Each structure stands twice: as structure tokens, then as C-alpha cells.
Amino acid sequence: MCGITKTDDAVAAVEAGADAIGLIFYEGSKRFVDPETAASIISNVSPYTAIVGLFVNADADYVQAVLGCCPLSQLQFHGDESPEFCSSFNRPYVKSVPVSNALKMSEIVAAHRNARAYLFDTQVPGEHGGTGKTFDWRLMPQKNIGHRVLAGGLDAENVAEAIRIAGPDAVDVSSGVELAPGDKDHDKLYRFIRAAKRADEVVAK
């Protein structure tokens, strides 16, 4: 559950069964949250919930400053960060892979072979996720590359079909469960998680 900006949304996501919540530390995002607010949000959710911090071409000092006040479980990088940079913070990391041609995607995955997971998202020039746009789920690489997260325009109505076609290890949602950027609709949130878990059970059979 990405793009969390408020404590009540974080609590609702966890209660609904979200495995992780994502906090965006990129000031260019409509869902940006400052480190102090993020720390307050984190303090109000279960310690068993994974907390993911999202960055876009941040400098190392900023990432370290965020880590100094926010106990993040994982980092997620959505820019042009090098593998060395991503690996330098003593945290597992997720690398965003814009869905384009197969060669370009495979190059990113190969370069970031130490990533904990790869998040496949719709490629929109000038944007770094949260666009609400889907891509052809058949283009998502299959299971020979490690942990794969599907993102991009997912909502309660299409997530089951997306899981059936792409067979991801996890799904990521932001705009698909919102009233406005950063303001989650708790009914949509619950319906999304329920639909995703049901679809995962069907695929597992």
C-alpha cells in the first residue's frame, strides 16, 4: 500500500491485511511525506508491518537522514540510482523497472542483481510511479528473475485479472485506492486487498 501520508490510512491498510506500507520521500510527488510525519505514522502501526521508504534520485545524505528518524524495513528506488548506491544503506532494496522493451528491463534487472525485489511499473515520461496507468501485463518478465512486484493502475476491479495474467509475487497500489493523491479511500483499500488475496489463492491452486 504505497503513498501513505496519514496515520489513519496506515492503520486502515494494516488492519485490512496489507503486508507493507510505502512512504514517499520524493518532494516531486503529490504523496510526499516529510521524515517527521513519516516517523509519527510508523509509530502507530504494528511493528510486524514492513515499512518501505521510496526515493527518487536522492543524495546519500538525505537517505541517511531519513533512516536516522524512520525505522524503514526496506528502501525502494525509482530513479537512475546505481546498484552501488542502492546497496550502500544496509537495508534490503526494491528497484523500480519501467516497463518498456524486454532488453532494457533485463539490463536493469541484471545490473541490480542484489535487489530484494523488482517493481514493474508503467513507463510514463517524466513520472516516477503513481500515474494510475496500466501496462500490458503480459510484458511482465516471468519467474526466473527473483521477487516481482506488479504496479501501475491497479484497483479492486482489475487486480484479480492482473494477478492471473502476470503472476506476480506481490502487487503495489496507490492511486487505485484514493479519493485524492495521498488521501486513501478505506472502502477501496479493503476491497483491493480482499480481491488481491482471493486472486492469489486461486492462482496458487
Q: Is 121 a catalytic residue?
A: yes
| Radius of gyration for the chain, computed over Cα atoms and rounded to the nearest angstrom | 16
The residue annotated as part of the active site, out of 9, 121, 172, 200, is: 121
CA distances from 19 to 23, 61, 136, 196 (A): 14, 28, 25, 12
Q: Which of 2, 9, 172, 200 is catalytic?
A: 2
Question: Helix, strand, or coil here: 93?
Answer: strand
Q: What phi and psi values does residue 11 have, to the nearest 5 degrees?
A: -65, -45
Coil/strand/helix, residue 30: coil
Cβ atoms of residues 23 and 41 within 8 Å: yes
- Can you list the positions of beta strands (E) in 44-186? 50-55, 74-77, 93-99, 117-122, 148-150, 170-171, 178-180, 183-184
Cβ 130 vs Cβ 2: under 8 Å: yes
Tally Cβ neighbours within 10 Å of residue 85: 18
List residues with catalytic annotation.
2, 121
